[in-house]
């Protein structure tokens, strides 16, 4: 899964009737990857219903995939990638056999290496909000071969710090789309918020490359 701008939009608890419009607007604004969490009511039906509307260079995945049963349901409904909050070797290996990439959740050094060794495409360091960007830098010391996505507590003010510390990407929830815009279902403002985040990430990644 190649992303020109390395960010995954995370949506939880979104109504199915609104998700299709939201997806179209966010993808149109330049976002390349979105996940809807498995614990969103009707998540399986939402993915199944929207999968056919995903453009060729965009990705719709299922997040908060916690166990093998949820992984199976997510893949069966058409999820293009899985994101887990935990390190489940069974989920990673099952998805690998199905040809579906997994961004596996991990927190400790042991979990990070276990997820990567099991076949995760990337490792989601979660929850980053309780430790901050420097934790990514520390993990990257021994595990510089493992691409890590920072999730939890990432916002437009600290994105640059995460990339400067070695994050390969970030996962962002409602703030990416705009909390007020989401509450009001203001799609024009959603597109504007997504665009602002993408510009901030482009700058952050360019700065981190220039640094090295």
Spatial distance between the Cα atoms of 83 and 100, rounded to a whole number of angstroms: 11
* Cα dihedral value 204, 28, 181, 152, nearest 10: -40
Spatial distance between the Cα atoms of 184 and 49, rounded to a whole number of angstroms: 23
- Taking alpha carbons only, the member of 34, 147, 149, 141 closest to residue 85 is 149
Catalytic residues: 35, 124
- Token duo for residue 192: 């504007």
For residue 54, with 0-12 CB atoms within 10 Å meaning exposed, 13-18 middle and 19 or more buried, which class applies? middle
């Amino acid at each position: 899964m190649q992303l020109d701008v390395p960010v995954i939009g995370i949506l939880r608890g979104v109504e199915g009737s609104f998700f299709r419009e939201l997806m179209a607007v966010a993808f149109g604004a330049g976002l390349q990857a979105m996940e809807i969490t498995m614990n969103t009511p009707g998540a399986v039906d939402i993915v199944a219903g929207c999968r056919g509307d995903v453009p060729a260079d965009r990705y719709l995945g299922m997040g908060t995939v916690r166990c093998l049963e949820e992984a199976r349901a997510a893949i069966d409904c058409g999820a293009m990638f899985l994101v887990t909050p935990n390190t489940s070797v069974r989920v990673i290996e099952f998805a690998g056999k199905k040809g579906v990439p997994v961004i596996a959740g991990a927190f400790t050094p042991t979990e990070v290496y276990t997820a990567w060794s099991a076949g995760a495409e990337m490792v989601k360091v979660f929850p980053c909000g309780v430790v901050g960007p420097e934790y990514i830098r520390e993990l990257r010391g021994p595990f510089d071969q493992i691409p890590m996505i920072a999730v939890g507590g990432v916002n437009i003010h600290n994105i640059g710090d995460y990339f400067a510390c070695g994050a390969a990407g970030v996962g962002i929830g409602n703030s990416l789309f705009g909390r007020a815009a989401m509450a009001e279902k203001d799609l024009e403002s959603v597109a504007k918020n997504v665009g602002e985040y993408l510009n901030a990430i482009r700058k952050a990644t360019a700065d981190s490359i220039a640094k090295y």
